[in-house]
Amino acid sequence: MSRITSQLSQKQLFWIVFAVLLAVLPQVYRLPMWFLPMTVVVVGYRFYAQLHQLKQAYNRILTVIAIAAMIMIIYSQGIGLSREFSVTILITMTVLKLLETYTMRDALLVVMLCYFVTMTRFLYSQDLLLVFYLLGSAFVTTHALSVLNYEKTVQWFDTSQLRATAGSLALAVPFAALFFLVFPRLGAPIWGSPDIFGEGKTGISDTMSPGSIIELFMDDSPAFRATFQDNKIPPNNQLYWRGPVLWNFDGTTWSRKKHSKTRARIQQYSETEPYRYQIELESTGQNYMFGLDYVVNSPSGAFLLPDSILYAPQKINQLRHYELESLLLDRFYQPLTESDRELLLDYPANQNLQTQQMMQNWQQQAQNPIEIINRALTWFNQEEFYYSYSPPPLSGDVIDQFIYESKRGFCEHYASSFTIMMRMAGIPARVVTGYQGGINNGEYLLVKQSDAHAWSEVYIEQENQMGYWLRVDPTSMVAPERVERGSRQIMDEKRNLIDYDWIRNFKDSMDRYRYRWNQWVRDFNVSKQQALFEILGVDHRDGKTLALMMAGILLVTGILSLIPIWWVKRRRFHALQKIYLDLAKLVRKQPHLYQTHHQGIETFIANMQQHYPKARSSLNHFLDTYLAARYSKKGNDRQKTLNHLQQTLLKIKQVIKQQPLQ
C-alpha cells in the first residue's frame, strides 16, 4: 500500500478535525443555523467510523449529502457571487469532506482547505485579537500537516513535533512581513472590508424607535476614536458627535429626510476657535460619518447635507480616517424653507391627544418659543421622570404613555417626546442621533457604541432676521450625570453577567494596542505603501524595478532566515563533534588509524575495534549513543547524553592505555 492511499491513524484524524474546527469556529455565528448541528454530526460520525473501522460511505450517498447542503445554502442565503455565499460554500464543503477523509490523499486536501478557510476570516476582520486566534489556527493546521507527513510517535501531543511546527512557522514570519510591505495593494478591498471582531457594527442608523439606542448601550465595542490637535479636548458636556438627523415621525418610528443639496462651509467663526481633530471610524456598513457639532467643512471623500449630516457617497466598509474642524456653537444660523418648516411641525394629529392639549395650553400662556422650551425642560426636571435602560414597552399613543404613565425611559424616549411636544406647540423641531461623550484613553478619545445618544434640535424663528438652530438635550434635565460623566457612569446595576469595572478597564487598555495595530497594520493602504517605496527610492509604477526589488529582498530574507537554523544546529552538534574529536585524539600517535576518522565515525570505530578488542563493548556503546544523539528526532536530554559519552570515553581511554596496539 502506497503512503498516499494508506489509512489514517487516530492521532492523524484528531489533528485534522482539530484544524477544521478551529478554522471554522470564528465564522459559525454568521453561518446558517443548520451548520453547527451538521458539523457535530459529521465529526461525531467520523470518529465513530474510525473507532469501529467502518468503510467510507458510498460516493452516491456523499453526492446526495453535498447536493442537499448546496440547496440549503441557496435557500438560506440566495444565489449569487458574493462574499457570504462563496465563504459559506467553502466552509460547508470543507466540513463535509471529513466524511470521505480516510486516506492520506484526502487528509492532505482537507488540511490545505483549512488554510483557505482561515484566510477567509480576514475578509471580515483584521482586528488584533482575532489575528492572534487565527495564528493559533494556522499553527494547528501546520501541525496537522506535520503529523500527516512525519508521524513517528504515538503521543498525540509530542513536544518535539510541536516545537518543530513552531520553528517552521517562525521561518515564515520574515517572508510574511516582506509580502505585507511590498506586495502590490488594491485601491479598494475585495468584497468590502474587514471590520472589528465580527461583522461591522451598524451602530447608529437612519431610523429610531423606542429601544433602538438602548440596544447600543449594551455594546462596549468601539464606534470611533478621536485624536485632538495639541490634546485640546472639549469638556464632556460639549462632546456631541452628530450623526443622522431625523425629521419624519409616524407615531412610533423616526426616519431621516432625503436631501438633494449640500451644506456650504461655515465661513465666519471669529467668536470661537475651531477644534481640530482626526477621526478613526470603525466599519459600519453605512454612509454616515461623525463629527462634533458643528463641522466647519466636509473632508475629502464626503460632503455635508443641509442638516449638517456628514455623509460619504460609499458605505464605510473599512477603517476610515478623516480630519475635521468643528465649532462648538450655541446657535447655528441657517435659513429654513417653508416646506421644511411644515415637515418640522408635522405629527400624527389623531394620537397623543392629552399631550396635545397640554402643549396648546402652554402655547397660549407663553410669549415666545424660548419660554415654552424652558418650561418643558423644567417640567422634565421637576416631575418624577427617571433615566432607565430597562423601561416598560410602549405602544399606541407612545408619547402620552411615556409622559403620563411610565415616566421611565432612555435618551430616545426623552428626545422623541420633547421634539413632538415642541411641534405641538408650533416650534419646528427634529431629533439628532449620534454619540455623546467618550473616554480619554491616553493618546485619543475612545467613543463606544454604548455612548450612543439622541437629543433634540429646535428652530428659533426671528422677525426680519435669519433663524437659528438650538440644541436641546432633555435627558440632561432628568439625568445630568449622563452628559457630564458619560453613559456608563450613572448606572449602578450590571447590564449583563460580565459587566464588571475591571473587565471594562481591561478592554479599554487592550484598545490602546488595537489603536496602534490599526495605525501600523490595518491602515497600511496604497498611499502608505507608495510612501514606503519613495523612501526606498523605488518607482512603484515600474513593474520591472519592483520585481527586482522583491527578488532581492526575498533572497536576503531567505538567507537571514536560515541563520537561526545554522546557529541551532551548530550549537546542537558542536559538543558532540568535540567529544568525537577527543576520541580520535586517543590514537593520534597511530597515523594509519587516526586518519580514518575523516571517513566517518562508523569506519573509525570499526578500525579501533580491530586494534583494541578489549574496548569493543565500550566503542559500540559510544557509537550507538553518539548516533542516537546526532540523528534521532526524539527529544533526548542533551546534557545527560553528553555526560554519558564523556564517561564512556574515559573507559575507552583506560583500555587503550592498558592494552598495547594490535
pLDDT digits (tens, 9 = 90+) for 1-45: 455 556 788 889 999 999 999 999 998 888 889 999 999 999 999
- Cell numbers for 541, please give them: 509604477
- Among 258, 243, 250, 259, smallest CA distance to 209 is for 250
The phi, psi pair for 250, rounded to 5°, reads -105, 15
Q: Would you list the domain boundaries of the chain?
A: 3-182, 207-509, 549-658
Is residue 326 within 8 Å of 295, Cβ to Cβ? yes
DSSP state of 271: T
- What's the confidence (pLDDT) of residue 192? 42
- What's the confidence (pLDDT) of residue 1? 47
Q: In angstroms, rounded to a whole number, what is the distance separating the alpha carbons of residues 234 and 257?
A: 30
Q: In angstroms, rounded to a whole number, what is the distance separating the alpha carbons of residues 467 and 464?
A: 9
Directed axis angle between helix 369-382 and helix 411-424, to 10°? 140
- Among 552, 608, 546, smallest CA distance to 580 is for 608
What is the 3 state secondary structure string of 541-585?
CCHHHHHHHHHHHHHHHHHHHHHHHHHHHHHHHHHHHHHHHHHHH
Show Cβ contacts of residue 539 under 8 Å, excluding neighbours closer than 6 positions.
533, 545, 546
3-class DSSP assignment, residue 536 = helix
Show Cβ contacts of residue 475 under 8 Å, excluding neighbours closer than 6 positions.
387, 411, 414, 415, 453, 455, 482, 483
Q: In angstroms, rounded to a whole number, what is the distance separating the alpha carbons of residues 206 and 467?
A: 26
Residue type, 176: A
Is residue 28 within 8 Å of 22, Cβ to Cβ? no
3-class DSSP assignment, residue 307 = coil
Q: In angstroms, rounded to a whole number, what is the distance separating the alpha carbons of residues 471 and 458?
A: 7
- Among 289, 73, 78, 320, smallest CA distance to 194 is for 320
- What's the confidence (pLDDT) of residue 295? 94
Alpha-carbon separation of residue 498 from 26, 503, 638, 649 (angstroms) = 21, 7, 48, 64
- What's the confidence (pLDDT) of residue 200? 46
Is residue 446 within 8 Å of 452, Cβ to Cβ? no
Q: Is beta strand 222-228 parallel, antiparallel or unpaired with respect to 275-281?
A: antiparallel
**Residue ranges of the chain with per-residue pLDDT less than 70:** 1-6, 151-154, 184-202, 268-271, 488-499, 536, 538-543, 545-546, 549-550, 557-558, 560-574, 591-599, 631-638, 659-662
